[in-house]
Structure 1
Amino acid sequence: MRTVLFTCMDADTLGGIQRVTHTVAQGLAERGYEVHVAGLHRSADPVRYVERPAYDHHVIGATPPERAWRRSDRRAVTRLLSGVGPCYVVMTSPAVVTRMRDLLAPHRHLGIGQYHGSFDHALGSWHFRSVRAHYGALDQAVFLSADDARRFSEAALLPNTCHLPNPLPGWPQTVASVGGRRILGVGRLAGVKRFDRLISAFAAARRTGGAPGWELHLIGDGPEEERLRLHATAEGVASSVVFRGRIPAAGMPAEYLKASVVGLSSEHEGLPLVIGEAASYGVPCAAFDVSGGVRALVVPGRTGLLVPPADVPALAAALSRLMGSADERRRLGAAARLHAERFRLEHVLDRWTSLFEHVSR
């Protein structure tokens, strides 16, 4: 079997699941697979992830994802499955699995359920109940890290878990000097990213570390921007926090090359690509230890600095340590780049191929 169908709730909105799906789809298509990417709903603000896709793209329904799953949508999915033929069906979230699981034909469609979040985040939401109820009946349940796969296997009694990381979309030949004075925060300016905590930690590091001239650049847009601007003012660092807005993927290499540190202050993450991408450029991170995926990317003290979740003083201390020593940044950054090799696209595609062989047995 050489056909793969990736299914997302919405395949074209700006987001980590979508970006990874299109990256892997293109990579597998270039290896000779027949690949399809389907969104169960149309995006209100679509993003083009691949300029010249070697795979087919489908949109099932025009309704927003929060609307009910209609009979016409089910019929459209059934027609798509019939037209694609025998294939690996990769369902990228619990919401997709609940909608599609019963539409798969035994032996004709091999079902693979992904979960792009962490075990800890799932446990506090409906995601865990959905994974426990539906993923065990699939041919494979796929998680982002060995730690997450083990914890889901034990707590949700899943007999079919494995782990497969998200890939880095590219591998740079040039690395950052990390000699400048710029910290990057990358992501949508939304509550879950908790950039307010990164701003507070940055302000504290500037006060206690005695490192003048440093700036925090926030790359992304979103509903929290005005509140974050006010927070930077309240922390006394408004002139040093630069809101850059959304930057196209093609522009991010230049941003990483100018950076000396990346900060991650999220409430929860699966496997945050920003840490891996920064590492590929030799840029170390200071991050909250919020998931097995973060721990898969960062070896504490060797490739970056991890601190307890939501511990702003500890994050400030980590930033201060990195801001205070270019030699430390270069040491950690060089080790981070070596560690990130395992997340290169070609290595992750090899693992996808092995996964397909495993579920076909």
Structure 2
Amino acid sequence: MTDQAWLTERPAASVATGTSDRPRDVFIVSNSVDELGGVTSWSHQMARLFTGRGHRVHVVGITEPEVPQELGETAYPTTTLYDVHPPQIGPMRGLKGRLNVAERRRRTARAEGMREQAAKLTALFRTARPGAVVIVTQVWAMEWVALADTTGLLVVGMSHESFAYCRKTSRFGRVQRHYRNVDRMLVLTREDADLWIRQGMNNASFMPNPIPFMPETPSPRTERAVVSIGRLHDQKGIDMLLDAWAEVAPNHPEWRLRIYGTGEDEEILQERCTTLGLDGSVDWMGPTSDVPGALRDSSVFVLPSRGEGFPLAVMEAMAAGVPCAAFDCAPGVHEIIRDGEDGLLATLGNTGELARRMDTLMSDKGMRDAMGEAARVNIQRYAAEEIVRRWEDLFAFLER
């Protein structure tokens, strides 16, 4: 790509630290300020990093989440636009749909409400200094930003999922529609950016996620525990993990599978666990605010997702020195994990293969240690300081 000079890698020693040469106002706009999931974690990590560099940050959510997460105190303001969720609307197919009075009223109420909330965004944006940036992390939120006045601001739209997974959803068309004219559309890998460009999104580029944390002391990898951390939702593939564990567990009766997280599929997944006869080896840990502690007490991490972008959970595990077994479900996964060097990959959906990858790591302490140490070294190419510098370079490039 001809305009990617701002992406050039620099040696770690030359990464700028301290205060940015050009402090900016940065608005990070998402579906929700505190929704449970990786996008929220990313938003607040970047908000902290930008704030630490002297930028003035404001995190904005459109509505309250269905499943919230605890944020604690933040060093920057947060705003949620809606007090109640905007009205749900259905498709208006054919004459019958167009004559559906109740649906037409819902659509009118939703449109009026969107304009009111977009006016709040406009008021926030007008407080910004020249050179301000609006980062929209999810395309649903972009529907409100598109109605607001962003004159004089740089607008960056993001997709935190792979091209292939997005293409299976209604978000695919909305990304093409709502991100086509933003200053830059960012995905998480070069491979996905190229696929979007082939769809006519000539403003597409890529920006990887930063490491969420880097523990001083890695996991000793002595605990006989395999860990999964994520929302209990179909996308995260916990049902497939249980199927794979059913093959592994009989060979390793002393090992436990610890599943951290909560979500709408929790009850049905626990029923599946019982049906498979796994209640004696699976621990449902619920959500955790101590991810480093959960990883420190584990020896293997597993990612059974059907779709991902640039999974923070894998980066966290590798930073803790815990080797991963994962479905190769997205370019971000095989960019982060170097198969056979610092983790093991399995074909998406092949639970038998995932079971064998877990079994290999569980059976061989020497391999676990070698891959865990390699993971801890390799993941440092996504150091937070480097990723923030790349963001600042992007801001400067877009201002030209």
Tell whether the structures are fold-level matches, with TM greater than 0.5.
yes
Conserved? CA contact 1:188–1:222, under 8 Å:
yes
CA distance in 2, matches of 1:54, 1:356: 22
Aligned to 1:211: 252
> Given residue 394 of structure 2, which amino acid in structure 1 is its aligned partner?
L
CA distance in 1, matches of 2:133, 2:87: 26
Q: Could you list the runs of 5+ residues in structure 2 that have no partner in the other structure?
A: 1-21, 89-109
CA distance in 1, matches of 2:87, 2:388: 32
Spell out the pairing of 1:178-327 with structure 2 (5 A cutoff): 178-207=221-250, 210-248=251-289, 251-327=290-366
> Given residue 138 of structure 1, which amino acid in structure 2 is its aligned partner?
V
> Given residue 206 of structure 1, which amino acid in structure 2 is its aligned partner?
A
Aligned to 1:63: 84
Spell out the pairing of 1:72-83 with structure 2 (5 A cutoff): 72-83=116-127
SS, match of residue 126 in structure 2: helix
Q: Which is worse superposed, 63-72 or 337-346?
A: 63-72
Aligned to 1:94: 139
Conserved? CA contact 1:22–1:50, under 8 Å:
no
Counterparts in 2 of 1:65 and 1:317: CA distance versus 1, 3 Å: farther
Conserved? CA contact 2:61–2:79, under 8 Å:
yes
Conserved? CA contact 2:25–2:133, under 8 Å:
yes
Residues 83-126 of structure 1: CA deviation (Å, up to 9, x unaligned): 234411111111122321243444x1111001111101111112
Conserved? CA contact 1:141–1:160, under 8 Å:
yes
CA distance in 2, matches of 1:46, 1:245: 13
Q: How far is 1:228 from its partner?
A: 2.2
TM-score for both structures, normalised by structure 1:
0.93
Match for residue 386 of structure 2 among 347, 357, 360: 347
CA distance in 2, matches of 1:227, 1:128: 28
Counterparts in 2 of 1:44 and 1:242: CA distance versus 1, 3 Å: closer
CA distance in 1, matches of 2:245, 2:378: 26
CA distance in 1, matches of 2:86, 2:187: 23
CA distance in 1, matches of 2:261, 2:66: 18
Aligned to 1:5: 27
Q: How far is 1:307 from its partner?
A: 0.8
Aligned to 1:167: 210
Aligned to 1:336: 375
Q: How far is 1:44 from its partner?
A: 5.7
CA distance in 1, matches of 2:356, 2:393: 42
Counterparts in 2 of 1:278 and 1:92: CA distance versus 1, 3 Å: same
Conserved? CA contact 2:118–2:147, under 8 Å:
no
Q: How far is 1:63 from its partner?
A: 2.5
Conserved? CA contact 1:8–1:39, under 8 Å:
yes
Conserved? CA contact 2:33–2:60, under 8 Å:
yes
Q: Which is worse superposed, 87-96 or 59-68?
A: 59-68
Aligned to 1:32: 54
> Given residue 234 of structure 1, which amino acid in structure 2 is its aligned partner?
T
> Given residue 333 of structure 1, which amino acid in structure 2 is its aligned partner?
G
> Given residue 92 of structure 1, which amino acid in structure 2 is its aligned partner?
T
Conserved? CA contact 1:182–1:217, under 8 Å:
yes
Q: Could you list the runs of 5+ residues in structure 1 that have no partner in the other structure?
A: none
Aligned to 2:45: 23
Q: Which is worse superposed, 228-237 or 347-356?
A: 228-237
CA distance in 1, matches of 2:233, 2:202: 35
Counterparts in 2 of 1:46 and 1:307: CA distance versus 1, 3 Å: closer
> Given residue 360 of structure 1, which amino acid in structure 2 is its aligned partner?
E
CA distance in 1, matches of 2:139, 2:270: 35
CA distance in 1, matches of 2:366, 2:339: 17
Conserved? CA contact 1:88–1:109, under 8 Å:
yes
> Given residue 235 of structure 2, which amino acid in structure 1 is its aligned partner?
V
Q: How far is 1:49 from its partner?
A: 2.7
Aligned length: 354
Conserved? CA contact 1:179–1:260, under 8 Å:
yes
Tell me whether 1:109 sits opposite 2:148 in the alignment: no
Tell me whether 1:142 sits opposite 2:186 in the alignment: yes
SS, match of residue 180 in structure 2: helix
Match for residue 71 of structure 2 among 46, 49, 57: 49
CA distance in 2, matches of 1:15, 1:185: 14
Taking every aligned residue pair, what percent have the same amino acid on both sides?
31
Aligned to 2:94: none
